[in-house]
Amino acid sequence: MGGQDEIELIQDFPDGLRRDIRRYLCLDLVKKVPLFHMLDDLILDNICDRVRPLIYSKGEKMIREGDPIQRMVFIVRGRVRRSQGLSKGFLATSTLEPGGFFGDELLSWCLRRPFVDRLPTSSATFTSTEPIEAFAIDADHLRYIIDHFRYKFASERLKRTTRYYSSNWRTWGAVVIQLAWRRYRRRTKGIAPAPINGGTTKNRLRQYAAMFLSLRPHDHLE
């Protein structure tokens, strides 16, 4: 994008021409997002009509953990570092590549019934590790699209795709796998974990599971 906001340049064009230009500029970018691969042209047109470009410099915090999520962001160029504080002072980190996205908490916010006006909060901090080019859909625009095409966004196939590519679900899955691996290593080596406050080994494992599984993303993807 070269630092230019192309969308701003065409705001005063006639509606039909502006829509065609936005589709020409945005459609290829939108189709690169795995989450949108299965959407039909009508929905893609509505998305293209509402996305806007974003540019971030290296080292910029795109959103902080605990901030209200105002938009869903899709990475076009560059890499983003995701960091999430866990229990006991641990920090989970991962990297989002081009084609990745964050702010997917807004999907469940839009699909929730009864609807709640309060925006969801970010479960992690996202920091650009290099100059970033991205595009975003603001919360109100995403809600408009999902309300009008709810049949598509509530499909089981899209739910599975969202879960697979979501950085939140991937972090949760990684933590669960690590917990299971530690339990397996202890069991195969015959090392019994020390009890906590006089509790049994089984109780300790339950406490670990409760601590880690509580990080599971709370959304409609059940």
Cβ distance 108 to 220 under 8 Å?
yes
What is the chain's pLDDT, residue by residue, as a tens digit (222 residues)? 555 666 667 777 777 787 788 777 778 777 777 777 778 888 888 888 888 888 999 999 999 999 999 999 989 899 999 998 776 677 778 888 888 888 888 877 887 778 888 998 998 899 999 999 888 999 999 999 988 888 777 777 776 766 666 666 666 677 777 778 877 888 887 554 554 454 555 555 555 555 544 445 554 444
DSSP 191: P
Give the pLDDT score at 91. 78
Give the pLDDT score at 88. 67
Give the pLDDT score at 220. 42
DSSP 35: G
Give the pLDDT score at 194. 52
Domains of the chain: 6-169 (2.60.120.10), 170-213 (no CATH)
DSSP 69: -
Q: Is 63 strand, coil or helix?
A: strand
Backbone angles phi, psi at 173, to 5 degrees: -65, -40
Which residue's entry shows tokens 């959407």? 39
Give the pLDDT score at 140. 94
Give the pLDDT score at 110. 83
- At position 102, the amino acid (one-letter code) is F
Backbone angles phi, psi at 212, to 5 degrees: -80, -40
- Whole-angstrom distance, CA of residue 96 vs CA of residue 127: 10
Which residue's entry shows tokens 């702010």? 103
Give the pLDDT score at 13. 78
Dihedral (CA of 76, 131, 49, 28) sign: negative
Give the pLDDT score at 187. 81
Give the pLDDT score at 56. 93
Return the H-helix or E-strand segment holding 62.
Answer: strand 61-63
